[in-house]
């Protein structure tokens, strides 16, 4: 059991200014079964549970917890009722208004894509409201974004009348991202015509289209035969890295004797392949699959159907160049022996050899031996059994540590003689079964227990035992005296100013070592932030709380076939740390969102704020999300004010340069370009110049000497005689049989 710290309940935070959330597409069944449920409102305070030693819990943070759709939903077994089945809905004005608003909000460039256009047209609905009618009310839930075609509406916040929105204006954009309460009331000042875009329907169809596209691309790559050394995980990574292009009739992809740099895959449509030097038999040997001979023209050619991979020759040349077709290693290109032209409209995807090597590694090595797998590389075939010997009677409860939405966290000393834990203190999370069942959180709590039970690292919260009685579930975790890193950063706890950069790097190394371990176990963490990091009494950082953790890949159904998917669709975490691919949950995301969040955290350690807010405590979600989406076109500004923290002199300038470069590489909006997700995996980050002075072995085993040690105050509040008493559970205990 690795050293760990006191965790918190799944929906618990101390910072009132940054909402942690779990949000996505609403399930159509009544209760959530997989990843938590929506929780808002005063009846569920969601206070932080597991407050570290000496921490005074401040005002609770606003929190939204909302379920995603599951694979069965995406495949159409459960369909949102608001989808317009008439795919030829060509109201040009409605589409133009909604597409323009969507592009402005997300800085998206997909509105020209035919499939994306079809999704919008199938999900927009025309609405009419009369003067004085309330379009939305502050505090109510919301699923739709509205764009005005005609008329005016006024925004009313806290009973104060504000902005007037005219034709072309937009209200309720955040509803496209998550199911948060409406931030204002909107009233019609005159009769209005609006277009509504539903999050549920839009993201449902978007996810369905993206999923099928990825599965289809991966299938075509496997069928090509030349990538047989790649496993499913890396085939999927290559598929994600491929760029899509739509090409019209009689356009040339490559001309004979031109330099060929792209490996094309025909997704939809047909292309012709011809050559002035090669015979039809030669062409058929070069392109053996999914082709037919066409002799109707002046020059015989091959016609390739959908699913044909045109990159075999280029990959072969890169691996083993032929004297007749030399490979230019500097350009990663070869001279094409054929001309490839489109026949009608063609959709194709492609990757370059440079992109291939960036994602998977040297082409010769990969083609011969396959690509190294980093994520899930140390995943165990079976999860170790959690200690089942202990019962609650084996613990002496002494001190109250925190309160949360399911119950309490208390300090307990193991008093069972001859047990390895005898005499040690533990943090015991007490969760009432009736509250767990009421919130639809049975599977969510079980998942957290399973993930905690797999952890065995000095820098990650572990689990000693899971216990249950008729009414209560208990998680017994290691306890260490500690303070929340959020408090250190935002409560102005004194840090030596001249050592801020050194301390920040020490923290960052700990965080990334812990994150690397979690990823090696095949788990996407998805909620990296200071609130989930503790500084122990020796100054080391410990990662806690697996409430949003997700094991990947997962089995899904696509076109009736069961396949493995690296992606999940719950938009979860804290807004300031959301990766761009999470903003519209229909795109799906994987563990690489953690590298983006780590980039935000690295910046935050130095700057005292996250990169997409103007100042600490900003809570304008719309503004933050627009900045995150805009980062695909505008790199974040790492200002001179931040540079000054590194000090003066050439060494300080170099250190700042390394810091800026690492943050920039972590905050790449394209996942296949993001450091940590490249061919070297987490090692690319560890080998970065910023961490050149770090002894990773001493970080991992907590032997490194901390440059700063916090003052820790022991908890003093008695647990009380009713510490573990909760409301009796009247339900079916078989739901908790495998606890």
Would you list which residues are annotated within the binding site for ATP?
A: 429
Work out whether strand 243-247 and strand 327-328 pair parallel, antiparallel, or are unpaired.
unpaired
Q: Which residues are annotated as a binding site?
A: 429
Determine contact, residues 342/251, Cβ cutoff 8 Å: yes
DSSP string, 370-395: -PPP-TTTT--SSPPPPB-S--GGGE
Can you list the pairs that 641-645 forms with residues at least 24 positions away whose Cβ atoms lie under 8 Å? 641/607, 642/603, 642/606, 642/607, 645/500, 645/501, 645/606, 645/607
63: exposed, middle or buried (C-beta count within 10 Å: 0-12, 13-18, 19+)? Answer: buried
From 143, 527, 545, 594, the catalytic residue: 527
| 3-class DSSP assignment, residue 396 | strand
For residue 373, give the nearest of 153, 563, 520, 179 by alpha carbon.
520
Please name every residue paired with 335 in a beta bridge, in sequence order, or none if there are none: 259
* Spatial separation of the C-alpha atoms in residues 201 and 559, rounded to whole Å: 19
594 classed as catalytic = no
Q: Which helix (H) or strand (E) holds 267?
A: strand 262-274
DSSP string, 502-519: HHHHHHHHHHHHHHHHHH
DSSP string, 623-671: HHHHHHHHTTTS-----HHHHGGG-SSHHHHHHHHHHHHHHHHHT-SSG
For residue 270, give the nearest of 235, 244, 296, 301 by alpha carbon.
301
* Spatial separation of the C-alpha atoms in residues 12 and 403, rounded to whole Å: 9
Token code pair at residue 75: 């495949």
For residue 613, give the nearest of 580, 581, 577, 656 by alpha carbon.
577
For residue 315, give the nearest of 271, 356, 372 by alpha carbon.
356
Work out whether strand 20-23 and strand 63-65 pair parallel, antiparallel, or are unpaired.
parallel
Place of tokens 């009310």: 137
* Spatial separation of the C-alpha atoms in residues 98 and 90, rounded to whole Å: 13
Determine contact, residues 74/429, Cβ cutoff 8 Å: no
Q: What are phi and psi of 432, to 5 degrees?
A: -70, 130
| 3-class DSSP assignment, residue 542 | strand
Determine contact, residues 125/198, Cβ cutoff 8 Å: yes
Determine contact, residues 679/359, Cβ cutoff 8 Å: yes
What is the CB-side half-sphere exposure of residue 208 using CA atoms within 13 A? 22
Positive or negative CA dihedral for 194, 200, 204, 207? positive
| Residues taking part in catalysis | 527
């Amino acid at each position: 059991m690795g050293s760990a710290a006191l965790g918190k309940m799944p929906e618990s935070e101390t910072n009132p200014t940054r909402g942690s959330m779990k949000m996505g597409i609403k399930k159509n069944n009544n209760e959530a079964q997989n990843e938590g449920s929506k929780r808002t409102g005063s009846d569920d305070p969601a206070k932080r549970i597991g407050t570290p030693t000496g921490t005074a819990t401040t005002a609770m943070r606003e929190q939204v917890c909302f379920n995603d759709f599951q694979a069965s939903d995406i495949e159409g077994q459960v369909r949102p009722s608001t989808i317009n089945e008439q795919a030829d809905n060509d109201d040009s004005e409605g589409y133009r208004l909604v597409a323009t608003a969507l592009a402005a909000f997300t800085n998206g460039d997909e509105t020209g894509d035919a499939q994306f256009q079809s999704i919008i047209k199938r999900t927009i609905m025309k609405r009419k409201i009369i003067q004085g009618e309330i379009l939305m009310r502050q505090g109510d839930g919301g699923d739709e974004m509205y764009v005005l075609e005609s008329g005016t509406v006024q925004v009313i916040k806290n009973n104060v009348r504000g902005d007037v929105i005219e034709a072309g204006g937009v209200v309720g954009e955040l509803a496209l991202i998550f199911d948060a309460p409406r931030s204002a009331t909107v009233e019609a000042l005159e009769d209005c015509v609006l277009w509504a875009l539903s999050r549920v329907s839009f993201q449902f169809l978007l996810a369905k289209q993206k999923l099928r596209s990825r599965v289809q691309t991966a299938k075509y790559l496997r069928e090509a035969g030349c990538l047989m050394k790649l496993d499913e995980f890396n085939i999927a990574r290559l598929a994600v890295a491929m760029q899509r292009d739509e090409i019209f009739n009689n356009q040339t992809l490559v001309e004979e004797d031109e330099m060929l740099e792209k490996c094309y895959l025909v997704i939809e449509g047909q292309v012709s392949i011809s050559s002035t030097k090669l015979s039809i038999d030669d062409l058929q040997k070069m392109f053996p699959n999914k082709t037919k001979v066409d002799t109707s023209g002046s020059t015989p050619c091959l016609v390739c159907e959908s699913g044909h991979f045109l990159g075999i020759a280029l990959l072969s040349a890169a691996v083993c160049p032929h004297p007749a077709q030399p490979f230019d290693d500097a350009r990663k290109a070869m001279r094409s022996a054929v001309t490839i032209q489109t026949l009608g409209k063609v959709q194709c995807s492609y990757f370059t050899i440079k992109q291939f090597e960036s994602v998977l590694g040297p082409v010769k090595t990969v083609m011969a031996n396959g690509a190294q797998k980093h994520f899930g590389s140390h995943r165990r075939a079976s999860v170790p059994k959690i200690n089942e010997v202990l019962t609650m009677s084996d613990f002496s409860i002494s001190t109250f540590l925190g309160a949360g939405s399911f119950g309490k966290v208390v300090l307990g000393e193991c008093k069972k003689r001859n047990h390895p834990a005898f005499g040690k203190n533990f943090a015991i999370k007490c969760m009432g079964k009736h509250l767990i069942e009421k919130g639809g959180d049975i599977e969510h709590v079980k998942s957290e227990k399973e993930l905690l039970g797999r952890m065995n690292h000095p820098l990650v919260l572990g689990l000693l035992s899971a216990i249950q009685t008729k009414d209560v579930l208990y998680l017994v975790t290691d306890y260490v005296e500690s303070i929340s890193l959020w408090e250190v950063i935002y409560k102005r706890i004194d840090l030596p100013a001249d050592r801020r950069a050194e301390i920040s790097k020490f923290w960052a190394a700990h965080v990334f070592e812990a994150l690397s371990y979690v990823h090696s176990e095949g788990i996407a963490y998805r909620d990296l932030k200071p609130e989930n990091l503790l500084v122990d009494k020796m100054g080391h950082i410990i990662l806690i709380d697996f409430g949003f953790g997700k094991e990947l890949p997962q089995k899904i159904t696509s076109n009736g076939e069961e396949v493995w998917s690296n992606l999940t669709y719950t938009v979860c975490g804290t807004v300031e740390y959301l990766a761009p691919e999470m903003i519209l949950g229909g795109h799906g995301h994987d563990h690489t969102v953690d590298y983006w969040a780590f980039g935000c955290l690295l910046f935050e350690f130095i700057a005292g704020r996250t990169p997409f807010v103007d100042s600490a405590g900003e809570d304008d979600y719309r503004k933050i999300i627009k900045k995150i989406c805009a980062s695909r076109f505008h790199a974040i500004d790492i200002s001179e004010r931040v540079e000054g923290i590194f000090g003066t002199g050439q060494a300080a300038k170099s250190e700042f340069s390394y810091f800026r470069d690492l943050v920039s590489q972590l905050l790449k909006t394209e996942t296949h370009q993001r450091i940590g997700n490249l061919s070297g995996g987490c090692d690319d980050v560890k080998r970065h110049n910023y961490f050149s002075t770090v002894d990773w072995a001493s970080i991992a085993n907590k032997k490194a000497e901390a440059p700063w040690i916090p003052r820790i105050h022991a908890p003093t509040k008695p647990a009380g005689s009713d510490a573990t008493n909760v409301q009796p559970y009247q339900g079916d205990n078989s739901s908790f049989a495998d606890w």
